[in-house]
């Protein structure tokens, strides 16, 4: 099939290469010229394990190409257009900014051939993958149908760091379909052809309405965020009582109804998804007059923000408030390991707040430093972790990359000025670090 992917960021670029790997003829389109140039040359514009390999294989096979928006000619004879542009938090509130979705849809509609036959068949199909407020698909559909196309919403659940595997082997596929039965049938059939190899694997498929599909996505992210904030709330209780949240998490996680995933207490969640999605959900619920149904998300967000405050306060307290010019080393800038994404990164925010307080902060990260160095000159960036540790008065482990978790505390003792560490991800063994002469503080343990 001929497929387009509009928006080639963390989601779209991987989706485009993955669809080419499934055997489709794919055109990736973006408004960012440097991004298109890099992708067309086989260079991944961001760090995502396994992506460079599938990108190059797809380009070599001739199945994948990239074009700068509006790419009207390239889009004219496409069967399925995937919309994968960003839906960031608005600058002036919690709601999602839908500007990019609207312009991507406009661009596709302008490129469509105005043939009556296409209109009658209800094709091509436009498939929303971006995370949007419930009601977006219903609002877009009339315009799309009037242009002779059909709209489906097919939310994406990939995790950064596992994007390739999650795209090619997702836990489930969700199709939000139009109300009109004929349109729904044609649209679903087109998407079933796109995903045929996945469906043949037995991946569960849920066919539902637009609003349910949109809600599934934000409900899933809200649940995950709530789980993390729940365990971080328990960390606060452990801090007040001398409990150990890591042992508590292990113990409750043995109950299969609870499960042991997403129960890692620490400095909380960040990234380009969970924080903005729980806020957009609250804003949309408010518009719909059902704000109280998700008012708990305000607490989820507040608990999450408090973890960042807590670790900043912990660091300042260590220096007895005399933090000016203290040499602090922050291990990690990305919002999580195996990603270079610094959007709403808890690690980066803590580093910046300590620098604001007057500390001399050196930050290291295996992949995220280029984005930090260009935007945050107040931080010292150091690629070599051992150099970053040298002469440090306090080390903070804030993103649990394997290379940080595997640091030899005995070797590190020789490098630092004072052997003091705050483990913001509870990722280290306190006994081993204390045994090597470190003063160790976790979060909630």
Ligand X SMILES: O=c1ccn([C@@H]2O[C@H](COP(=O)(O)OP(=O)(O)O[C@H]3O[C@H](CO)[C@@H](O)[C@H](O)[C@H]3O)[C@@H](O)[C@H]2O)c(=O)[nH]1
Tell me which residues touch ligand X (CB under 6 A).
Answer: 131, 156-160, 221, 224, 228, 262-264, 266, 268-271, 273-274, 335-336
Which CB atom, from 70 or from 253, has the smaller least distance to ligand X? Answer: 253
Would you say 373 and 385 are in contact if contact means Cβ atoms under 8 Å apart? no
SS3 335: coil
Q: Does position 301 bind ligand NAD by CB under 6 A?
A: no
Q: Give per-residue burial for 72-110: e unless 16+ CB within 10 Å, then b.
A: eebbeebbbbbbbbbbebbeeebbbbbebbeebbebbbe
**Interacting residues with ligand NAD between 14 and 33 (CB under 6 A):** 29-32
Q: Does position 428 bind ligand NAD by CB under 6 A?
A: no
- Shortest CB 270 distance to ligand X, Å: 4
Work out what residue 264 binds among ligand X, ligand NAD, none; the CB cut-off runs from 5 to 8 Å by kind. Answer: ligand X
CA separation for the pair 11, 130 (Å, rounded): 9
CA separation for the pair 278, 444 (Å, rounded): 24
The token duo for 389 is: 């540790």
CA separation for the pair 379, 315 (Å, rounded): 16
Per DSSP (E only), the strands in 311-436 are 327-331, 360-364, 380-381, 394-397, 420-423
- Shortest CB 339 distance to ligand NAD, Å: 9
CA separation for the pair 389, 33 (Å, rounded): 38
- Shortest CB 375 distance to ligand X, Å: 19
- Shortest CB 363 distance to ligand X, Å: 16
Work out what residue 31 binds among ligand NAD, ligand X, none; the CB cut-off runs from 5 to 8 Å by kind. Answer: ligand NAD
Q: Does position 272 bind ligand NAD by CB under 6 A?
A: yes
Q: Binding pattern to ligand NAD, positions 160-179, x when CB under 6 A?
A: x-------------------
Q: Does position 334 bind ligand NAD by CB under 6 A?
A: no
- Full strand arrangement of the beta sheet holding 439-441: 380-381, 360-364, 327-331, 394-397, 420-423, 439-441
Catalytic residue among 8, 238, 273, 431: 273
Which residue's beta carbon is nearest to the bound ligand X?
273
Which CB atom, from 246 or from 304, has the smaller least distance to ligand NAD? Answer: 304
- Shortest CB 128 distance to ligand NAD, Å: 9
Q: Give Cβ neighbours of residue 441 (< 8 Å, ≥ 6 apart).
A: 314, 421, 422, 423
Q: Binding pattern to ligand NAD, positions 36-75, x when CB under 6 A?
A: ---------------------------------x------
> How close are the terminal C-alpha atoms of the chain, in Å?
54
Q: Does position 285 bind ligand NAD by CB under 6 A?
A: no
Peptide bond into 70 cis (omega under 30): yes
Which CB atom, from 101 or from 323, has the smaller least distance to ligand NAD? Answer: 101
Which CB atom, from 275 or from 409, has the smaller least distance to ligand NAD? Answer: 275
431 assigned to active site? no
Residues in the chain: 445
SS3 85: coil
Work out what residue 419 binds among ligand NAD, ligand X, none; the CB cut-off runs from 5 to 8 Å by kind. Answer: none
Please pick, from the candidates 85, 188, 228, 389, the single residue that binds ligand NAD as defined by CB under 6 A: 85
- Percent helix, percent strand, percent coil in the chain, to nearest 5: 45, 15, 40
Work out what residue 323 binds among ligand X, ligand NAD, none; the CB cut-off runs from 5 to 8 Å by kind. Answer: none
Which residue's beta carbon is nearest to the bound ligand NAD?
9
DSSP lists the bridge partners of residue 331 as 364, 397
Q: Does position 103 bind ligand NAD by CB under 6 A?
A: yes
Q: Does position 100 bind ligand NAD by CB under 6 A?
A: yes
Q: Which of 379, 432, 384, 368 is nearest to 405 (CA)?
A: 432
The token duo for 225 is: 């965020």
Q: Does position 82 bind ligand NAD by CB under 6 A?
A: no
- Shortest CB 122 distance to ligand NAD, Å: 24
- Shortest CB 159 distance to ligand X, Å: 4
CA separation for the pair 426, 445 (Å, rounded): 8
- Shortest CB 102 distance to ligand NAD, Å: 8
Would you say 174 and 206 are in contact if contact means Cβ atoms under 8 Å apart? yes
CA separation for the pair 166, 54 (Å, rounded): 14
- Residues involved in catalysis: 273
Interface with ligand NAD (CB under 6 A)? 6-12, 29-32, 35, 69, 84-87, 100, 103-104, 107, 130-131, 156, 158, 160, 272-273
């Amino acid at each position: 099939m001929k497929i387009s992917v509009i928006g080639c960021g963390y989601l779209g670029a991987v989706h485009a290469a993955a669809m080419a790997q499934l055997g489709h003829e794919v055109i990736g389109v973006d408004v960012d010229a440097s991004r298109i140039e890099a992708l067309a040359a086989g260079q991944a514009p961001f760090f995502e394990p396994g992506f460079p390999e599938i990108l190059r294989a797809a380009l070599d096979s001739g199945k994948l190409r990239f074009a700068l928006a509006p790419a009207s000619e390239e889009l004219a004879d496409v069967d399925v257009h995937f919309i994968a542009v960003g839906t960031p938090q608005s600058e002036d509130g919690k709601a999602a900014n839908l500007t990019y979705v609207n312009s991507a849809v406009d661009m596709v509609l302008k490129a469509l051939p105005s043939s009556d036959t296409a209109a009658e068949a209800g094709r091509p199909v436009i498939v929303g993958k971006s995370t949007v407020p419930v009601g977006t698909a219903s609002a877009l559909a009339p315009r799309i149908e009037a242009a002779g196309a059909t709209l489906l919403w097919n939310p994406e659940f990939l995790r950064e760091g596992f994007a390739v595997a999650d795209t090619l082997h997702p836990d489930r596929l969700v199709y939000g379909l139009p109300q009109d039965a004929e349109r729904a049938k044609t649209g679903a059939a087109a998407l079933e052809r796109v995903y045929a190899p996945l469906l043949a694997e037995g991946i569960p498929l849920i066919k539902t309405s637009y609003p349910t599909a949109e809600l599934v996505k934000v409900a899933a992210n809200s649940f995950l965020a709530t789980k993390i904030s729940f365990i971080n709330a328990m960390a606060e209780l452990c801090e007040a009582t001398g409990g150990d949240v890591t042992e508590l998490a292990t113990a409750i996680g043995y109950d299969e109804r609870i499960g042991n995933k997403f129960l890692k207490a620490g400095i909380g969640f960040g990234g380009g998804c969970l924080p903005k999605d729980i806020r957009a959900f609250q804003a949309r619920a408010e518009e719909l007059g059902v704000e109280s149904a998700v008012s708990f998300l305000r607490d989820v967000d507040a608990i999450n923000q408090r973890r960042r405050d807590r670790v900043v306060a912990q660091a300042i307290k260590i220096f007895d408030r005399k933090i000016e010019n203290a040499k602090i080393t922050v291990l990690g800038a990305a919002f999580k390991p195996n990603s270079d994404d610094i959007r709403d990164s808890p690690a980066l925010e803590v580093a910046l707040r300590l620098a604001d307080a007057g500390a001399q902060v050196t930050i290291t990260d295996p992949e995220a430093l280029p984005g930090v160095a260009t935007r945050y000159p107040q931080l010292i960036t150091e690629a070599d972790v051992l150099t970053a540790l040298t002469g440090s008065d306090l080390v903070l482990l804030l993103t649990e990359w394997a290379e940080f978790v595997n640091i030899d505390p005995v070797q590190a003792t020789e490098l630092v000025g004072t052997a003091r560490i705050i483990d913001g991800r509870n990722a280290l063994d306190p006994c081993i670090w204390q045994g090597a002469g470190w003063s160790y503080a976790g979060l909630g343990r």
